[in-house]
Amino acid sequence: MKISVDANAFSALKSYNFRRYLYVQVICVIGFWMQDTAMKWIVYELTGSNSSLGIISIVTQTPIIALTFLIGAWLDNANYRKVILATQLMTMFHAFTLAALVFSGNINYWYIVVLAGYYGFVNAVYWPARQASVVCLVDSDKDLKSGISIYSCLFNLSKLLGPSIAGWVIFKYGSGACFLFNALSYIPVMYVIYITTFRERKKKTVKQNAFKSMVEGFKYVKDFTPLRTVIIFLAVICLLNAPMGVLLPSIAKDILKDGSKMFGYLQGGIGFGAVIGGVFLSGFVKLRYLPFSIAIAATSLGLMQCWFASTAAVVANSLGDGGVMWYGSESAMPWAIFTILLTIPIGFSTVCTTVGINTLMQTVCDDDKRSRIISFYTICLNGVSALGMLACGFLADKFGTIQTTILFGVMTVVAAMVYLFNAPKVSKSLRPVFDMIEQES
C-alpha cells in the first residue's frame, strides 16, 4: 500500500455550509459521547451485568435492523434537512427524559430499556440521513472523501473528549448532568441546520414505492461484486469488534479496579486513536489503496484487541483480590497505564477499517442509490454490532471478560486474512472508478 499526502485531504473545509455545520457539531457530538458513557455506566451500576449492557444495545438497534433498508429507500427522495431537524428534536426529548429520571431518582433498568427502543427508532432514520447528507453540504462530489474523513475526525475527537469529561462529571455530579448537557447541545445544531441550504442532488426520475426501491438496492449490491465484498467484510468486523463496545465498563471496574474515571480513560484512548486514524485516512491514504488499507487496519485491530486484554489480565493478577486500586500498586501501575495506551491503536485501527469502508462505499456507488447503500453501512455499524455486543455480553458473563475479548480479537484477524485474499480483485474491479475520480481532481 502506497502512502502519500493527498492534496484534497481537507478540501471539504472550503465549503461554507460544511464548515459551519462542522463547528456546531463539535458540542453536539461531545454531548453524544458523554451520554453514551453515562448510559453504559449507569446500566452497569444498576445491574452489574455485561449481558444487561448487551440487551440495551440490541433493544436500541432492533429498529435499525428492522427499518433501515426501507428508510434508506425512502430517504433517496426525501428532504435530508427536514429529516435531520425532526430527528434531532426527537433525540433532544430522549436526553431530557433521561436527565429528568436520573435527577428525580426514578431511574431504573426497565425505563432505560423502553427509552432505548425509542432512541433506536429515531436513529434508524437519523443515521442514514446524516451520513448521506455530507454530499449535500460539500460544494463538489470530489470533496466527498474529504468530508467523510473530516467528519469522522470530529466524531472521534469528541470520542476522546466526551468520555473523559463524562468520567469526571459522573464522579462529581452524577450521570444526569451528562444527559442534560447532551439535551442542550442539540439547540445550536438545529438552528444551523434550519438556516443551511443543502446542495441539490440527483434523484430518481421515476418514483417507486419504498419496498420496490429497497429491492432495487439489494439487487444493486448483489450485482456489484466489489461493493458486496466490502459490505460483508464490514458486517463481520462490526460483529467482532463488540468487546470495545460492551465490555469496557467491566474491564474498568472489575479488572482494573477503578470506576467511572478509568472507563473515561479507556473510552478517551480509543477516541484519541480514532482521531489520528481519521487524519491518516484523509491525508495519507489514496482512494485507490483503500481496499488494501482496510485489510491491514482490521488485522491490526484484532491483534491490538488481544494485546489489550492480555495486559489487562496482568493488571488483574497483580492486584489480586485485596481491593487495591491500580494506581496504588507498584507492580500493577505500569501495566495499567500500558493497557490504557493500547486503546489508542485500537481506536486508530477501528476508524481506518470502518471509515475506510464507508468512504469506499459512498465513492463507488451511484448517487441516486446513496441512501440505500448507506443503509447497509448503518445496519452493520449499529445493528450487526448490537448482535455482537449481545453475544459478547453473554459469553463474558459465562466464560470471562478477558477470554471473550481475546476470542473476538483472534476471529477478527482471521476475518481480515480472508478479506485480504479478495482485496486484489476488489481493487482491480474499481480501478476505472478510481482513475475517473483522480482525473476529475
416 compared with 283, residue with greater pLDDT: 416
pLDDT at 361 (0 to 100): 86
Are the C-beta atoms of residues 359 and 131 closer than 8 Å to each other? no
150 compared with 178, residue with greater pLDDT: 178
What is the torsional sign of CA 306, 312, 317, 320?
negative
- pLDDT tens per residue across span 309-341: 998 888 777 766 554 455 555 556 777 788 889
- pLDDT tens per residue across span 200-209: 766 555 555 6
Are the C-beta atoms of residues 112 and 196 closer than 8 Å to each other? no
- pLDDT tens per residue across span 65-105: 788 777 877 877 788 889 999 999 999 999 999 999 999 98
403 compared with 359, residue with greater pLDDT: 403
Q: Please report which confidence band the pLDDT of residue 1 belongs to, taking 50, 70 and 90 as the band edges.
A: very low
Q: Whole-angstrom Cα distance, residue 434 to residue 353?
A: 19
Q: Which of 162, 380, 185, 130 has its CA nearest to residue 270?
A: 162
Specify the residue for cell string 489480565: 313
Domains of the chain: 11-197+209-440 (1.20.1250.20)
Cα dist from 13 to 197, 267, 356, whole Å: 16, 28, 19
pLDDT at 159 (0 to 100): 67
Q: Which of 236, 258, 211 has its CA nearest to residue 416?
A: 236
Q: Whole-angstrom Cα distance, residue 316 to residue 306?
A: 15
Three-class secondary structure assignment of 92-132: HHHHHHHHHHHHHCCCCHHHHHHHHHHHHHHHHHHHHHHHH
Other CB atoms within a 10 A radius of the CB of residue 210 amount to 16
